[in-house]
């Protein structure tokens, strides 16, 4: 690998740069503060001014939701958000919290929101001298042979003091006597051990027992102490002590070893014979209760056997005093220390703690936005305690490690869209580096909050509605509907009519109104098919977001005809305007002679404009006949001498609407002799010619007006349909043949359906089929075998 001038490889430079950058980034979001406080202070005692030490304003603590997060289930401190002080929440007993640790540190986290910050605070709990030294037994007995030589050393039961440091046991004192003195052996973390040393040989015959008082004192001011009474019984001679085979004993034991596992076997021998040479093994006097719960010694074999759960996380090593004693009358004892080192196993799963979590994150959040802070702990050590976090599924988030061990932040890595997925159930997997590896999971739900990024969408575009004329003013005609994929105010849609455009004049004439909440559209004035047959307008749907988004849709309205116009008699018309006329015919005419033709007009279309003629009143039914479709009056037979000279015919003209409208015309037919008729014809020819010219003129005007309106309607329909589709060739077929009775015929399409409105005459190939009022005209369709009739019975509507 290539190295630079300083002997550092390129890969090492990369690691150094990475560590420096991570330290710089983390330093912006965290800080380390340390306080100290004595144990067992009262609740409410001030620990420190955390707001000042963090450089924060007091009034910002409540706004930013400052709070304390502790790793344990017990909470010892809290922050007052009003004054920024850190207070003691409950009484702290250092001996319970930290047992016999030389330093008692409680690590807490101060978390602030908006922006998200975490600060680490360490509180050192100082010990006070609140415990006195105590011995496990108030009285103990020792047996020493009278043959024991000066210098004999016997370990005594050590006292226990829950305090640490200078407040722990500092010295032992022995009551004054002539045969014994006291030495103190420092065992480090196990404290000081008193050792009784024989100064001179004992004489059982002189004194059988010696009473001693052992006092243990701590380093407090004033000092506290405890005592125990020791009775030394002088035994007869057993002059050889047991001797262990090894100078030192050390062994490794895996944690979680099964109960009954043999840790090590110690061996001691005694040169004496008989009972004085028989060895019995036991735990030393100074072995504490915790070790006695975990281990036992086989008194015969010297095997140290596991009898309780071994946990590396509680203790990584044990020093066990093994005592070998002979069975002589005055047993001699020898003690040996056995060091048991516990081997760590990967037996603890990582623990995941969500330190801080945002309730919701907006869908337009920038990449890299922090969602939550995750803290991971593993009680194991070494590789077994190294934890790697990841997600178990593909999500638009990533876990970013921090410079603090086992701290991660969840940040966004890709764009979010609430409409596609409003909530993410994220599962965090924490996996250690042990073999085999252990893992744990924790699920959190990340809610995506809505932003106004979707415009309203109409259910149909464009809308096409068919409305009958003469609608009730103010009555709801139809409605439009739009939906918005957003939620809340961003999805609340309001409607309004866009009143700019070429159809604005028509909109004003109808006074269209729309309900802004539900899209119901009504007209304050009635429609008149004869005035306007179709129009269009646009509706705008806007949401209530900020800023508001909107969309519009075109609404095409086709007005359907109703039978609201009565037939108008065009001929005969008298000079005073009434529908009356006089016709003279010669007496010698044959049957089938055309007497006259009644002409009428109806402004409606379809059946409503289809006129039928009938004789309502007639003096002689055998003499005259009326064509019900053309209005022609013809003679049925020749006149006789007995026939009257004048006949009155009342003709009823009615349309074919559901509720028929009608008009009547009166024709007086005078029968004259051929010569009179000829003379009269000469006299009346000029007047009749003028009258015919007037009728023809009015008829041309009427036909021209109707044709212009019809052509305009056809052009508007074609223009509207051209904007939507290219298939228009069959949409508006030519009007059926007109035979002289004024009527209309219109064909149009709605979606994939074609409709035809027809007048009184039927085109070739049309048929009358039973239907509504037995007057439904069906246009033959080679593409289909079934016909569909419009739901408006007042019109002739055929799907073709």
The burial of 650, by beta-carbon neighbours within 10 Å (0-12 exposed, 13-18 middle, 19 or more buried), is given as middle
For residues 38 and 93, give the distance between their C-alpha atoms in angstroms, rounded to a whole number. Answer: 10
List the beta bridge partners of residue 325.
280, 333
Give pairs for 290-296: CB < 8 Å, separation 24+.
290/315, 291/318, 291/320, 294/318, 295/263, 295/320, 295/340
- Mean pLDDT to the nearest integer, 110-118: 82
Lookup: tokens for 130: 């609140």
What pLDDT score does 691 carry? 54
On the question of a cis peptide bond just before residue 781, with omega within 30 degrees of 0, the verdict is no
Contact of 428 with 393, CB cutoff 8 Å: no
Contact of 549 with 535, CB cutoff 8 Å: no
Contact of 254 with 244, CB cutoff 8 Å: no
Give the angle 451-456-462 at the CA atoms, nearest 5°: 165
Percent of all residues in the chain with a pLDDT value above 90, rounded to a whole number: 29
466 or 12: which leads in pLDDT: 466
What pLDDT score does 28 carry? 40
What pLDDT score does 518 carry? 92
Reported as a pLDDT band with limits 50, 70 and 90, residue 690 is: low
Reported as a pLDDT band with limits 50, 70 and 90, residue 528 is: confident
What pLDDT score does 263 carry? 94
For residues 719 and 756, give the distance between their C-alpha atoms in angstroms, rounded to a whole number. Answer: 18
Report the half-sphere exposure of 451 (CA within 13 A, side-chain side). Answer: 11
For residues 767 and 735, give the distance between their C-alpha atoms in angstroms, rounded to a whole number. Answer: 17
For residue 18, is pLDDT > 80?
Answer: no
Residue at token pair 């028929």 = 660
Model pTM score: 0.49
For residue 587, is pLDDT > 60?
Answer: yes
- Mean pLDDT to the nearest integer, 185-206: 84
Lookup: tokens for 281: 């093994």
446 or 330: which leads in pLDDT: 446
Instruction: Give the pairing of strands 243-244 and 268-269.
Output: antiparallel
For residues 551 and 565, give the distance between their C-alpha atoms in angstroms, rounded to a whole number. Answer: 41
Q: With left for phi above 0 and alpha for psi between -120 and 50, is residue 436 left, alpha or beta? A: beta
* Most confident option among 69-73, 303-307, 647-651: 303-307
Give the angle 556-566-636 at the CA atoms, nearest 5°: 130
Contact of 761 with 754, CB cutoff 8 Å: no
List all residues 6 or more positions away from 98 whose beta carbon is below 8 Å from its beta carbon. Answer: 104, 105, 125
What pLDDT score does 324 carry? 94
Q: Centre a 10 Å sphere on the Cβ of residue 722 and count the other Cβ atoms it contains.
A: 11
- Mean pLDDT to the nearest integer, 346-369: 88
The H-assigned helical ranges of 49-162 are: 50-54, 58-63, 94-98
Contact of 564 with 655, CB cutoff 8 Å: no
For residues 605 and 611, give the distance between their C-alpha atoms in angstroms, rounded to a whole number. Answer: 10
For residue 299, is pLDDT > 70?
Answer: yes
For residues 502 and 201, give the distance between their C-alpha atoms in angstroms, rounded to a whole number. Answer: 132
What pLDDT score does 520 carry? 94
What pLDDT score does 301 carry? 93
What pLDDT score does 694 carry? 62
Residues in the chain: 800
Report helix, strand or coil for 748: strand
List the beta bridge partners of residue 32.
120
For residues 35 and 170, give the distance between their C-alpha atoms in angstroms, rounded to a whole number. Answer: 28
- Mean pLDDT to the nearest integer, 772-800: 35
For residues 269 and 324, give the distance between their C-alpha atoms in angstroms, rounded to a whole number. Answer: 9
Q: Centre a 10 Å sphere on the Cβ of residue 676 and count the other Cβ atoms it contains.
A: 14
> Which of 305, 304, 317 shows the shortest CA–CA distance to 255?
317
Of 236-240, 561-565, 653-657, 752-756, which range is least confident? 752-756
What pLDDT score does 298 carry? 95
Contact of 269 with 335, CB cutoff 8 Å: no
Reported as a pLDDT band with limits 50, 70 and 90, residue 657 is: confident
Write the pLDDT tens digit of every residue in 397-433.
Answer: 999 888 777 789 999 999 999 888 999 999 999 998 8
Proportion of the chain in helix, strand, coil states, percent, rounded to 5: 15, 40, 45
Reported as a pLDDT band with limits 50, 70 and 90, residue 196 is: very high
Q: Which DSSP category does 589 fall into? A: P
Residue at token pair 């059988």 = 208
For residue 282, is pLDDT > 90?
Answer: yes
> Which of 10, 290, 355, 303 shows the shortest CA–CA distance to 136?
290
Of 197-206, 468-477, 745-754, which range is least confident? 745-754
For residues 86 and 89, give the distance between their C-alpha atoms in angstroms, rounded to a whole number. Answer: 9
What pLDDT score does 47 carry? 86
For residues 533 and 549, give the distance between their C-alpha atoms in angstroms, rounded to a whole number. Answer: 34
For residue 136, is pLDDT > 70?
Answer: yes
What pLDDT score does 771 carry? 31
Reported as a pLDDT band with limits 50, 70 and 90, residue 557 is: very high
Query: For the residues of 106-124, what is the DSSP string, one character each?
Result: EEEEEEETTTTEEEEEEEE
- Mean pLDDT to the nearest integer, 779-783: 37
- The sign of the torsion formed by the CA atoms of 248, 238, 283, 266 equals positive
The burial of 596, by beta-carbon neighbours within 10 Å (0-12 exposed, 13-18 middle, 19 or more buried), is given as buried
What pLDDT score does 355 carry? 83
> Which of 405, 433, 429 shows the shortest CA–CA distance to 348?
433
What pLDDT score does 304 carry? 95
Write the pLDDT tens digit of every residue in 300-318.
Answer: 999 999 999 999 988 999 9
Summary mean pLDDT of the chain: 80
For residues 285 and 294, give the distance between their C-alpha atoms in angstroms, rounded to a whole number. Answer: 16
């Amino acid at each position: 690998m290539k190295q630079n001038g300083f002997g550092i490889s390129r890969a090492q430079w990369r690691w150094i740069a990475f560590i420096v950058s991570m330290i710089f980034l983390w330093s912006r979001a965290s800080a380390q503060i340390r306080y100290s406080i004595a144990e067992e202070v009262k609740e409410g005692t001030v620990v420190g001014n955390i707001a000042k030490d963090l450089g924060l304003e007091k009034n910002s603590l409540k706004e930013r939701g400052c709070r304390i997060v502790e790793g344990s289930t017990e909470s010892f401190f809290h922050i007052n958000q009003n004054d920024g002080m850190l207070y003691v929440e409950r009484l702290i007993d250092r001996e319970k919290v930290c047992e016999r640790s030389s330093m008692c540190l409680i690590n807490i986290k101060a978390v602030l929101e908006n922006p998200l910050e975490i600060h680490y605070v360490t509180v050192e709990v100082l010990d006070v001298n609140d415990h006195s030294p105590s011995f496990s037994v108030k009285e103990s007995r020792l047996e020493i042979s009278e043959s024991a030589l000066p210098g004999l050393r016997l370990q005594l039961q050590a006292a226990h003091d829950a305090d640490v440091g200078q407040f722990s046991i500092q010295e032992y004192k022995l009551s004054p006597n002539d045969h014994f003195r006291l030495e103190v052996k420092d065992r480090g973390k196990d404290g000081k051990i008193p050792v009784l040393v024989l100064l001179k040989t004992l004489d059982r015959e002189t004194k059988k027992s010696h009473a001693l008082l052992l006092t243990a004192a701590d380093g407090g001011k004033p000092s506290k102490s405890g005592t125990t009474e020791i009775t030394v019984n002088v035994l007869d001679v057993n002059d050889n002590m047991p001797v262990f085979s090894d100078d030192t004993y050390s062994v490794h034991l895996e944690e979680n070893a099964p109960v009954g596992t043999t840790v090590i076997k110690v061996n001691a021998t005694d040169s004496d014979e008989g009972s004085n040479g028989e060895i019995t093994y036991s735990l030393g006097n100074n072995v504490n209760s915790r070790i006695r719960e975990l281990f036992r010694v086989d008194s015969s074999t010297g095997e140290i056997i596991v009898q309780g759960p071994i946990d590396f996380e509680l203790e990584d090593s044990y020093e066990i005093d093994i005592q070998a004693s002979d069975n002589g009358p005055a047993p001699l004892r020898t003690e040996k220390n056995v060091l048991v080192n516990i081997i760590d196993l990967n037996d603890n799963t990582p623990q995941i703690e969500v330190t801080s979590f945002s309730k919701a994150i907006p869908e337009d959040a920038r990449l890299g936005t922090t969602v939550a802070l995750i803290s991971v702990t593993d009680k194991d050590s070494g590789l077994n305690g190294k934890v790697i976090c990841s997600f178990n599924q593909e999500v638009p988030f990533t876990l970013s490690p921090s410079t603090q061990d086992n701290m991660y932040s969840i940040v966004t890595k890709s764009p979010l869209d609430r409409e596609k997925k409003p909530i993410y159930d994220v599962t965090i997997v924490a996996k250690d580096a042990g073999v085999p590896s252990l893992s744990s999971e924790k699920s959190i739900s990340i809610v995506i909050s809505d932003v106004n990024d979707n415009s309203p969408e109409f259910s149909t575009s464009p809308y096409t509605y068919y409305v009958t004329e003469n609608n009730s003013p103010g009555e709801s005609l139809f409605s439009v509907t739009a939906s918005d994929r957003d939620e809340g105010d961003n999805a609340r849609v309001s409607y309004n009519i866009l009143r700019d455009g070429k159809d604005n004049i028509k909109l004003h004439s109808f006074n269209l109104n729309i309900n802004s909440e539900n899209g119901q559209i009504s007209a304050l004035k009635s429609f008149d098919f004869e005035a306007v047959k179709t129009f269009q307008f646009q509706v705008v749907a806007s949401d209530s977001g900020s800023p508001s988004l909107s969309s519009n849709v075109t609404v095409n309205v086709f007005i359907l005809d109703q039978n609201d116009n009565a037939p108008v008699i065009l001929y005969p018309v008298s000079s005073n305007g009434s529908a009356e006329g006089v016709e003279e015919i010669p007496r010698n005419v044959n049957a089938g002679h055309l007497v006259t033709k009644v002409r009428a007009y109806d402004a409606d279309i379809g059946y409503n404009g289809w006129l039928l003629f009938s004789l309502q009143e007639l003096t002689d039914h055998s003499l005259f006949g009326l064509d019900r479709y053309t209005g022609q009056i013809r003679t049925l037979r020749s006149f006789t001498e007995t026939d009257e000279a004048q006949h009155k015919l009342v003709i009823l003209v009615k349309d074919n609407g559901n509720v028929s409208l009608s008009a009547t015309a009166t024709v007086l037919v005078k029968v004259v002799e051929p010569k009179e008729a000829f003379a009269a014809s000469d006299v009346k020819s000029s007047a009749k010619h003028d009258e015919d010219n007037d009728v023809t003129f009015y008829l041309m005007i009427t036909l021209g007006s109707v044709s212009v309106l019809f052509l305009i309607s056809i052009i508007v329909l074609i223009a509207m349909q051209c904007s939507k589709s290219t298939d228009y060739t069959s949409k508006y077929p030519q009007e059926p043949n007109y035979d002289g009775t004024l009527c209309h015929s219109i064909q149009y399409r709605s979606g994939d359906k074609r409709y035809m409105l027809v007048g009184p005459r039927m085109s070739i190939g049309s048929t009358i089929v039973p239907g509504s009022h037995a007057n439904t005209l069906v246009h033959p369709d080679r593409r289909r075998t079934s016909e569909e009739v419009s739901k408006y019975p007042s019109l002739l509507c055929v799907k073709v």
